[in-house]
Amino acid sequence: MRDDAAPSSAFMAGLGVAYLAAFIAMAPLLGMLVPLRAEAIDAAAKETLLSTALFWGAITAAVSNVAAGVLSDRTRSRLGRRRPWMAGGVAGVLAAYAVIATATTGAALTAGVVLFQIGFNALLAALLALFADRTPAAARGRLSAAMGVSYPLGNMVGAALVGGWLTQDGARYGALAAILVVGVLPFVFRMREDGARDGEAPVEATPGSVTAWFGPFAHRDFVLVWLGRSAMTTGFVVGNVYLLYFIAADTNFQARYGAPPEAGLALLTGVSFGVVLGVSLVLGLAGGRLRRRRGRRDRRGGSGDVGRASGDGVGLALGRRRLRRSRPGHGDLLRR
């Protein structure tokens, strides 16, 4: 697609909503529902069960995100390249909900988390590939701002829904499933998907060639982006997934405030989102003003900087200039 062939506003809005729905479906599951399920299976060994499930889930996520992006680049079907992976990803997430909700052993819980990571990363990789396929350079700043804030916003909304408003597990899983289906599937089946870009040959893998499959890692700036993003995500997840146990055990939340620990986690998540958004806004505006004073105006600045600051971390700032000039493809999938 040429840069001057801008997608419709409906497409961009649909992509943003689908991306947000995906994170609402993910954040409270790993931060609240899986820890609660581990505690229900074995309260005395809940930390071990949770750590095991999340460890194998993280390994699966790292592999499946890259694999789904590479394979979707090479998919040729009547439904297009990305649509089968998005629909399959939604189906995988829904199946994982059922496995996790009914798990009675640590092995079943781990299997559910692994299945969830496969489905979620298939969906996420395809959504990010669509961003690269269909969004012209002039519109990427605005859309990346909306997509960048989806993780913390999805975490806040999901925590409020699961921890603040709903108390029964069935209602919690059902609400997350409904948000995912309503937010993603209409976009999946109504969007127009382009094929290969003008003048771009279909992507083909060279047998035995690592570079052909993981070409972006040959670029230093991409590696910096990937490492920065991975470090930020790892730090957030490690602190977030055990937070519910800390609130329950170390603050005596229920006895002190008369509410379940999930409500405390929802409140803390909302406060942290407000702080992160406020700091990101201040830094984004200050950075844009400083650039203008130095005469280096960036047409992708302003609101885009806020989204990148809150969603993309320090790593993106190190490598974004060269990435703008690189050809979008499955390498773009590793932004998340």
Full set of structural domains in the chain with CATH: 9-193+215-335 (1.20.1250.20)
Evaluate the CA torsion angle 211, 213, 215, 216 in order and state its sign: negative
pTM over 0.75: no
Residue 314 has pLDDT above 80, yes or no: no
CB 314 within 8 A of CB 232: yes
| The pLDDT of residue 199 is above 60 | no
Q: Is the pLDDT of residue 6 over 90?
A: no
- The pLDDT assigned to 38 comes to 94
Average pLDDT over residues 283-308: 58
User: Under DSSP, is residue 195 helix (H, G, I), strand (E, B) or coil?
Assistant: coil
**Is residue 331 predicted with pLDDT exceeding 70?**
no
Task: Give the mean model confidence (pLDDT) for residues 256-261.
Answer: 76
b/e 252-267 (16+ beta carbons within 10 angstroms → b): ebeeeeeebbbbbbbb
Mean pLDDT of 263-282: 77
pLDDT higher at 332 or 287: 287
Q: Give the burial string for 14-38 (b: 16+ CB within 10 Å, else e).
A: bbbbbbbbbbbbbbbbbbbbbbbbb
Q: Cα dist. 28→22, 105, 127, 244, 331 in Å?
A: 11, 21, 20, 11, 27
Q: Give pLDDT, residue 79.
A: 77
Averaged pLDDT for residues 168-177: 92
Distance CA 281, CA 254 (A): 34
| pLDDT over 90, % of the chain | 26
> Is 204 or 101 the better-scoring residue by pLDDT?
101
pLDDT at 300: 47
Query: According to the model, what pLDDT value does residue 45 have?
Result: 93
CA angle, corner 89, sides to 116 and 197, nearest 5?
A: 140
What angle in degrees, to the nearest 10, is found between the helix axes of 169-190 and 9-28? 160
- Look at 168-172, 218-222, 274-278 and tell me which has the smallest mean pLDDT: 274-278
Lowest mean pLDDT among 63-77, 113-127, 204-218, 278-292: 204-218
| Residue 333 pLDDT | 38
The CA distance from 328 to 197, in Å, is 10
Predicted confidence at residue 295, as pLDDT, reads: 63
Render pLDDT for 320-330 as a digit per residue (tens, 0 to 9). 443 444 444 44
pLDDT at 304 over 90: no
What pLDDT does 171 receive?
Answer: 92
pLDDT tens, position by position, 37-69: 999 999 999 999 999 999 999 899 888 888 888
Lowest mean pLDDT among 159-173, 174-188, 190-204, 282-296: 190-204
Residue 213 is predicted with a pLDDT of 58
- Backbone conformation region of residue 326, classed left if phi is above 0, alpha if psi is from -120 to 50, else beta: beta
- Mean local confidence (pLDDT), 199-223: 59
- 91-142: per-residue pLDDT in tens? 999 999 999 999 999 999 999 999 999 999 999 988 888 887 777 777 677 7
| Percent of the chain whose predicted confidence (pLDDT) is above 70 | 74
